[in-house]
Amino acid sequence: MAPKHSNGQTTSNTMFERKMAQVRLSPVGIAVILVFLLAGVLYIHRKVSANRSVDSTDAKYDSAEGTVPQSINLRELLSTAIVVARRGGDIVKEIRLANTLDEKSKGETREGANNPVTEGDMKSHIAMYYGLKKAFPNLKVISEEHDSGVDTTGVETPNKELPEVSNAIGTDDYVPIEKIAVWIDPLDATQEYTENLVQYVTTMVCVAVDGQPVMGVIHKPFEDKTAWAWVGKGASGYKLPPTKPDSAAKNIIVSRSHSGDVEKVVKESFGEQSTVIPAGGAGYKVWSLFDEIADAYVHVTLIKKWDICAGNALLNHQNGIMTDLEGQKIDYSATSDPKNEFGLLATLHDHNTYLKNLRPAYEALKKS
């Protein structure tokens, strides 16, 4: 048995304690431990950050694990969309009133109509496109117009907190930026704009998430009216009209430039008592459904998605429907073709009935 000291501890235990007391960590050992601790803290921070919604100006990137998805506050994006639509509208109105259109032609449409572009189109594009990009630098924005070498120093960053939005919608939603595509039309109804038929002119912004239109803004600059909607959240500037009796004669709004072909389709589909209303601008035509001017909006040829996306969102919020004439919903993904080839039907009520009635005449038109 090992000898004991007066305190009861064995001699061997005392020797062990003396040896342990002599052990010291070297500076290199301390550094290694600190490195491991720091790595652990950074790993935890990175995981937390990956799951936290961040503003568009605070995107984080991880070289080891790839890009952490950048998220955008949709309520802020809606405010921004409203601001830029109104800014574009102010420019469009100012140029039209000053009669400084500087009209040019982009060529002809597939149907042979002139496709004009004006100073109003281009300056509105700059204000709207770069306003959105200044607010959300990495946002995918698809515009009807294109530019090169533009000085954007005069484009102010839009207000992201409009009271009319924050008062109507109390919650924020965050969506990864790669899911979002914004479609803008800096001047819808350019042909009518050149003819001074300004009642048809609008500026439009649409936010699509996973290809579906969830926010729409249509602004009428010459009436200073704005309609906007966030599907399922709230809306302003327009409302759902009462339902008409099924027996009532149908009022169908169509493009001024294609009214002949469409009138034939409408009369064959809904009877001679139906009324065809020629009008300019897709934004105006969708708005007319809410103003009780028309019961349905029909287009029988190709139409671009920046013309119809905002109206599609407004309809969606009010449980209306927009499809092509094949009955298919329209994909607004950033990578999708901007051309919607198979016509258009927009309604607030009885969409499938309209679609069924239109099908035979539409199929005959395609074959002609």
- Give the strand pairing for 71-73 and 114-117: unpaired
Reading the block at residue 106, the tokens are 């982009």
Q: Outline where DSSP puts E strands in the chain.
A: 61-62, 66-67, 71-73, 104-108, 114-117, 141-143, 174-176, 180-188, 202-209, 212-220, 225-230, 234-236, 251-255, 275-279, 296-299, 303-304, 321-323, 339-340, 344-347
- Annotation says 121 is catalytic: yes
Helix (H, G, I), strand (E, B) or coil at 170: coil
DSSP letter assigned to residue 315: H
Query: What is the reported pLDDT for 245?
Result: 81
Query: What is the reported pLDDT for 365?
Result: 82
Query: What is the reported pLDDT for 113?
Result: 66
Query: What is the reported pLDDT for 243?
Result: 85
- Annotation says 261 is catalytic: no
Query: What is the reported pLDDT for 39?
Result: 58
Of 80, 121, 323, 324, the active-site residue reads 121
Amino acid at 143: S
Q: Which of 49, 77, 192 is nearest to 139 (CA)?
A: 77
Q: Give the C-alpha distances (Å, rounded to integers) separating 58 from 49, 52, 53, 72, 162.
A: 11, 11, 10, 10, 21
Query: What is the reported pLDDT for 36?
Result: 61
Q: What is the pLDDT of residues 78-107, one digit of tens each?
A: 999 999 999 999 999 999 999 999 999 877
Of 190, 202, 226, 301, the active-site residue reads 190
Q: Which of 260, 310, 264, 248 is nearest to 285 (CA)?
A: 310
Ranges of residues in the chain with a pLDDT under 50 are 1-12, 15-16, 19-21, 23, 41, 44-68
The residue whose two tokens read 């020797």 is 15
Contacts of 142 (CB under 8 A, 6+ apart): 181, 182, 183, 184, 305, 306, 334, 338
Q: Measured between alpha carbons, how far is 86 from 226 in angstroms, rounded to an integer?
A: 8
Helix (H, G, I), strand (E, B) or coil at 159: coil
Q: What is the pLDDT of residues 193-248, one digit of tens each?
A: 999 999 999 999 999 999 999 999 999 999 999 999 999 999 999 999 988 887 78
